[in-house]
Amino acid sequence: MLSQSLINRFPASHRMLLDNLSQIMSALSRNSEPTFSFRPTNDLAKFYNGYIDFALSVYVDKFKQLYGALAESLEREWYVVYALSGRSIIENAAILRYYVNQKEFRNANEEVSQRGRTDETTVRNAIDTLDRFVRGNRFSWDAFIEGRLDELSKTPHQEHLTQINIRTCLKHWFRDSPKLESLYDLFCDLVHPNLGSNFLVMRSLNGELVAGGTGGKTSSLFIVCPSLAGIIGAYKEIQQNLLKFENFKLTNDGYG
């Protein structure tokens, strides 16, 4: 529940955004309640279905934390943190959207719908893509975990786990939603050491522009209000793609 103080700070014309934010956080909180373990099994279809549940749980929890951090930053007027959370939401939504549209998942489902079943090769290809979605990276995690800090690099220890560049994911999304590119560019400027991020810590006091201290009134809501509308709107895409991923699971008799 967002505080009355925060609601009062927002222009009346944009308070509906706070209602929407509360609804999003409630939905993510509910959907993150089940616990799914990563459990290897020789039953390939069962492993695949369980891995999808696990992957979905990972992303629901991430979005819960990110939208929660967004709300907390608004409460505390920590608008740089708001911008960091907003950009991360867009990037995580973009990579979710990218993987939802990978042919390996569609192939398994199409084979079941057309032939009533799919085969081992198709399921293994889908699992490999799912593995990249969850474990893909651009960092030498093996060296970090093993304490070999002098060997850290931008290369994962398994080549097939090299993660897709986030810019590629974003470009796919921008083609279908051109206005999103401007929103993302705004958030990039708000988190980098540019005018945007500097704006977020400035306030007005006695007719002057000030920084530091605790007095004065924030001058950031003219940035926050329209950008929050974009982040609220992104949740519809997130919700749709989470549901699509859920539907990639195989039926008990759809594999063999």
Backbone phi, psi, residue 203, to 5°: -140, 170
Report the share of the chain in percent with pLDDT over 90.
Answer: 69
CB count in 10 Å sphere of residue 169: 22
Mean pLDDT for the stretch of residues 180-207? 91
Confidence band of 114 (pLDDT split at 50, 70, 90): low
* Position 190 pLDDT exceeds 70: yes
Q: What is the pLDDT of residue 253?
A: 55
CA-only gyration radius of the chain, Å: 21
User: Would residue 123 count as lying in a domain?
Assistant: yes
- Spatial separation of the C-alpha atoms in residues 43 and 31, rounded to whole Å: 27
Confidence band of 107 (pLDDT split at 50, 70, 90): confident
* Position 63 pLDDT exceeds 70: yes
- Spatial separation of the C-alpha atoms in residues 231 and 234, rounded to whole Å: 5
- Spatial separation of the C-alpha atoms in residues 93 and 15, rounded to whole Å: 24
User: Would residue 242 count as lying in a domain?
Assistant: yes
- Token pair for 146: 């093993």
Q: What is the pLDDT of residue 203?
A: 85
pLDDT in tens, 169-186: 999 999 999 999 999 999
Confidence band of 74 (pLDDT split at 50, 70, 90): very high
Q: 54 lies in which domain range?
A: 15-246
- Spatial separation of the C-alpha atoms in residues 200 and 214, rounded to whole Å: 14
Mean pLDDT for the stretch of residues 135-140? 92
For the chain, give the mean pLDDT.
91
User: Would residue 104 count as lying in a domain?
Assistant: yes
Calculate the dihedral angle through the C-alpha atoms of 40, 44, 45, 51, rounding to the nearest 10 degrees.
30
User: Would residue 134 count as lying in a domain?
Assistant: yes
Q: What is the pLDDT of residue 255?
A: 58
CA distances, 144 to each of 58, 151, 157, 160, 166 (Å): 22, 8, 11, 19, 22
User: Would residue 2 count as lying in a domain?
Assistant: no
pLDDT in tens, 237-253: 999 999 999 999 987 65
Dihedral-angle region of residue 192 (phi above 0 means left; psi in -120 to 50 means alpha; beta otherwise): beta
Q: What is the pLDDT of residue 163?
A: 93
Q: What is the pLDDT of residue 242?
A: 97
The closest alpha carbon to 228, from 19, 59, 5, belongs to 19
* Position 256 pLDDT exceeds 60: no
- Spatial separation of the C-alpha atoms in residues 68 and 225, rounded to whole Å: 17
- Spatial separation of the C-alpha atoms in residues 221 and 243, rounded to whole Å: 33
User: Would residue 182 count as lying in a domain?
Assistant: yes
Provide the total of helices (H) and of strands (E) in the chain, helices listed first.
Answer: 11, 3
Please state the domain count of the chain. Answer: 1
User: Would residue 114 count as lying in a domain?
Assistant: yes
User: Would residue 1 count as lying in a domain?
Assistant: no
Which residue(s) pair with 209 in the sheet? 204
Q: What is the pLDDT of residue 90?
A: 98
Identify whether the C-beta of residue 50 lies closer than 8 Å to the C-beta of residue 250: no
Identify whether the C-beta of residue 45 lies closer than 8 Å to the C-beta of residue 255: yes
Q: What is the pLDDT of residue 43?
A: 87
pTM attached to this predicted model: 0.92
Confidence band of 217 (pLDDT split at 50, 70, 90): confident
Confidence band of 254 (pLDDT split at 50, 70, 90): low
Least confident of 33-47, 76-90, 174-188: 33-47
Q: Can you tell me which residue has the tokens 């489902």?
A: 109
Q: What share of the chain is helix, strand, coil (3-state, %, to 5)?
A: 70, 5, 25
